[in-house]
Amino acid sequence: MLALLPWCAFADDARPYVNDLKAPQNRKDLEAIQNAVASALPKARAATVCIEIKEGSGSGVIVSADGLVLTAAHVAQGVKKKVTVILEDGTRLKGETLGLVADKDAAMIQITEKGTYPFVEIDRAETTKLADWVFALGHSGGFDKDRGSVVRLGRLVRIAGSTFQSDCKLIGGDSGGPLFDLTGKLIGIHSRVGAQLESNMHVPMTEFIANWDGLQKAEFIGEGPYAQKPVKGTGFLGIATEPRPEGGLRVTKVGEKSPAAEAGIKEGDALLKMNGVALEKREQMQDLLKEMSAGDELTLETEHAGKPKTLTLNLGAR
Amino acid sequence: MHANKYSLILAALLVLPVAAQQSLESAYRTTGTAVVAAFEAQRQVLQTSSAVILDDRKEIAYGVVISAEGYILTKASELLEAKTLGVTVDQKNYPEAKVLMVDPTWDVALLKVEASGLVPVVYAPTSAVPQGTWVVANGVTSRLTRRLLAGIISAKPREIPASGGAALGVILNAKSKVLEVDDVNEKSGAKEAGLQKGDVILTIEGKKVANVTDIADALKERKAGTQVKLTYRRKGAETTVDVRLAARGELFTEQMNRNDQMSGDFSPHRSGFPRVIQHDILGSRTVEGGPLLDFDGHCIGMNIARANRAENFAIPVEELKELAARLMKQGGK
């Protein structure tokens, strides 16, 4: 016979009493904070990731078993961009940015490799109050396997509109990393800092929840300052071409240090396909590029000295 | 530092104009007086067993009292420019402090003041405590009262390799066909070993060096704080000396990265440590050198570098005990 569990049996979800003291009074109170952090830490740490995009590195946190990651918009930088997600043990996974909220510094990433990933629960009930004890995780200054992600303890010192401020000291590389309450629930994502050690700003979960569908659909939501909307036609490849009698286009010139040159394209190479479209006329290539922006990924099927080759590069800025 | 290859993503400083906001009074923040008051027992230990290191009246570092007779450990590189070295322990000032020994690897100096009846720190049995464990350290003090900051163990214990690799600390004359010294860094082992402008470097560890690549190869596997035998020629005479290696990044000013720029006053000597424990207590740079205490007021380490605004390194108690014993022995006690 089955019996339903009473819903209130989840004792670990109970609000720790220390949050409701103005300040810890004694060793027992301090140990309550310490023990809560220590027990929440393994799960929180397993879900905290480093995110590498091009030359930069930030942090993020996995929130579903199939690898949905929350991060900051200024880490993701754009939608549908390729990223590398690094787990605590150093495992490197392919990922793609989904949507972002440009005016709130919220973004979502999907790990694109199939797997079951460690994840944390989001505080959907908005239980967080001013003065609550919290802890931050993040890959400060970039991934360092010997060190692991860095944990910092603090209190919520200000709640202002769509911003949490804590005195968990953050630094570059922490951006996009998770802020947890003492039960290990995700309450915010690291966004920015001020000059003072206590000026550490986080995006509350409410901003993610309010935009969840758009984030999942890879929409670019809102305008600046944390991400700039791509402008079509700003992508730069750096080659001149002419039609080739046997099909495709012939490269007649490659700009010095252009994205094309860096991808290894040489004068005399043949371009056969761009993003899967067979090229016959120069206008076709120009039309394709017109729809793309700086930073977009481009796949080229080429022929160098008679040998076929497939290249992937990112367009530069015009 | 770690991950130098990345240009780090950094958040913009942005002040949001907001109408409705709630703010926590400073006394109740993590470093606030009301929170710190819960650590009064540990503060008492800092009162008697930490030392304030002074250059005349200016606080330049903190220290760990390791014997009743006035032996104190502190951060060596913070003493370099001090003219009048003094120490305050508890409420008593000792205007004359002598530097007996320096360990360049750990950047630790052994000081001696004329004192008796001091209360040395009690070492903790281990530094291997879980992350999230409370620790306390010195905050900036008043003349009579030590103040305290609290935080937690925040990362795995590990080695911090020398920033930029190990270096002799010389600049070579690029126009010369031999390895002619053009300049000697003031803080370097080369300076301590007596190298001068015009000297020609001949061998390192007995092996001939003919160009910069040879020097780089000779130093590649070596660590900052260790020594190499170096032979040089001056006015026709050859001399062999032991040269202490130092972290290149700390001898020659590196371009500050964005994380350095946002970190305030970090410790210039913050790499090249064989092993550290890390915590999130971030005071000013001048509070380095003092003890790191656990809940029981026992010393689990010695604060040795404010690496940046999020990371502080301490020498683990295991290595600290060994270092203290070695310096005391060499220092002639």
Domains in chain B: boundaries: 27-154+258-330, 166-251
Overall fold of domain A235-317: Pdz3 Domain (2.30.42)
Task: Give the DSSP letter of residue B246.
Answer: E
CA geometry: angle at A231 spanning A230 and A234, to 5°?
110
Question: What pLDDT sits at residue A293?
Answer: 85
Query: In angstroms, rounded to a whole number, what is the distance separating the alpha carbons of residues A273 and A254?
Result: 17
Give pLDDT, residue B241. 95
Residue B6's pLDDT band, with cuts at 50, 70 and 90, is very low
All residues at 6 or more sequence positions from A252 whose CB lies less than 8 Å from its CB, including other chains: A240, A241, A242, A267
Residues contacting B78, CB < 8 A, separation 6+: B53, B60, B61, B267, B285, B286, B288, B289
Within a 13 Å sphere around the CA of B27, how many CA atoms are in the beta-carbon half?
Answer: 6
* Length reported for chain B: 333
pLDDT at A11: 45
Pairing state of beta strands A133-138 and A178-181?
A: antiparallel
pLDDT tens for B65-88 read: 999 999 999 999 899 888 999 999
Beta bridge pairs of residue B99: B111
Determine the pLDDT at residue B44.
97
For B175-191, what is the mean pLDDT? 90
Q: Which chain A positions have a beta carbon within 8 Å of B263's beta carbon?
A: 171
The domain locations on chain A are 17-221, 235-317
Residues 139-168 of B with CB under 8 A from A: 151-152, 154-156, 158-159
**Residues in Cβ contact with A231 at an 8 Å cutoff, skipping those fewer than 6 apart:** A293, A294
CA distance A88 to A92: 10
Indicate the burial class of A9 (C-beta count within 10 angstroms; 0-12, 13-18, 19 or more): exposed
Is a pLDDT exceeding 80 seen at residue B11?
no
Looking at chain B, the whole-number percentage of residues with pLDDT higher than 90 is: 68
* CATH code, residues B27-154+258-330: 2.40.10.120
Residue B13 has a pLDDT of: 44
B131:A195 CB<8 A: no
Answer whether the bond into residue A245 is a cis peptide, omega within 30°: no
* pLDDT at residue B1 is higher than 70: no
- Give 3-state DSSP helix, strand, coil % of chain B, rounded to 5: 20, 35, 45
Interface membership of B237 toward A (CB under 8 Å) = no
Per-residue pLDDT reduced to its tens digit, B202-224: 999 999 999 989 998 999 888 88
Q: Which of A52, A168, A193 sits opposite B262 (nearest CB)?
A: A193
Residue B29 reports pLDDT greater than 60: yes
Report CA torsion sign: A95, A99, A102, A105. negative
Place of tokens 């009262």: B145
A-B C-beta contacts closer than 8 Å: 197
Could you give the percent of chain B with pLDDT greater than 70? Answer: 92
Q: Which of B101, B137, B124 is nearest to B291 (CA)?
A: B137
Residue B258: what pLDDT? 78
Question: What does the pLDDT average to over B223-243?
Answer: 92
Q: Do A17-221 and A235-317 have matching folds?
A: no
Rounded to two decimals, what is the model's pTM? Answer: 0.83
pLDDT tens-digit map of A50-106: 999 877 899 999 999 999 999 999 999 999 999 999 999 999 999 999 999 999 999
Give the Cα separation of A218 and A228 in Å (integer): 15
Q: Over 70: is that where the pLDDT of B151 sits?
A: yes
pLDDT of residue A229: 85
CB within 8 Å: A168 and B311: no
The mean of the pLDDT values for chain B is 89
* pLDDT for residue B97 is more than 60: yes
Q: Which of B4-13, B117-126, B240-249, B300-309 has the lowest mean pLDDT?
A: B4-13
How far apart are the CA of A86 and the nearest CA of chain B, in angstroms?
Answer: 14
What is the C-alpha separation between A2 and A102, in angstroms, rounded? 49
Position B101 pLDDT exceeds 60: yes
Highest CATH level, class, for B166-251: mainly beta
Which fold would CATH assign to domain A17-221? Thrombin, subunit H (2.40.10)
Confidence of residue B248 (pLDDT cuts 50, 70, 90): confident
B17 pLDDT more than 60 = no
Task: Select from B102, B108, B118, B109 the least CA-distant residue to B70.
Answer: B118
**Predicted confidence (pLDDT) at residue B15 exceeds the cutoff of 70:** no
**Order of all β-strands in the sheet with B200-204:** B207-208, B200-204, B227-234, B237-244
| Number of CB atoms found within 10 A of residue A195's CB | 9
At B202, list the tokens.
């001949």
Using the predicted structure, report yes or no on whether residue B9 has a pLDDT greater than 80: no
Count other C-beta atoms under 10 Å from residue A128's C-beta: 21
CA distance linking residue B176 with residue A139, whole number of Å: 45
Sign of the torsion angle spanned by Cα atoms A239, A240, A244, A249: positive
**Which residues in chain B are closer than 8 Å to A90, comparing Cβ atoms?**
none
Give the model confidence (pLDDT) of A45-60 as tens digits. Answer: 999 999 998 778 999 9
Q: What is the ipTM of this complex?
A: 0.82
> Of B276, B35, B280, B278, whose CA–CA distance to A152 is shortest?
B280
Cβ partners under 8 Å of residue B235, min gap 6: none
The rounded distance, in Å, linking the Cα atoms of A132 and A157 is: 8
Contact B138, B50 (CB under 8 A): yes
Task: Using an 8 Å CB-CB cutoff, list chain A residues near B35.
Answer: 23-24
What pLDDT tens digit does each residue of chain A (318 aa) get?
455 544 444 444 688 999 999 999 999 999 999 999 999 999 999 999 999 987 789 999 999 999 999 999 999 999 999 999 999 999 999 999 999 999 999 999 999 999 999 999 999 988 899 999 999 999 999 999 999 999 999 999 999 878 999 999 999 999 999 999 999 999 999 998 887 888 899 999 999 999 999 999 999 999 988 888 888 888 889 999 999 888 889 999 999 889 999 889 999 999 999 988 888 888 888 888 888 888 788 899 999 888 999 988 888 887
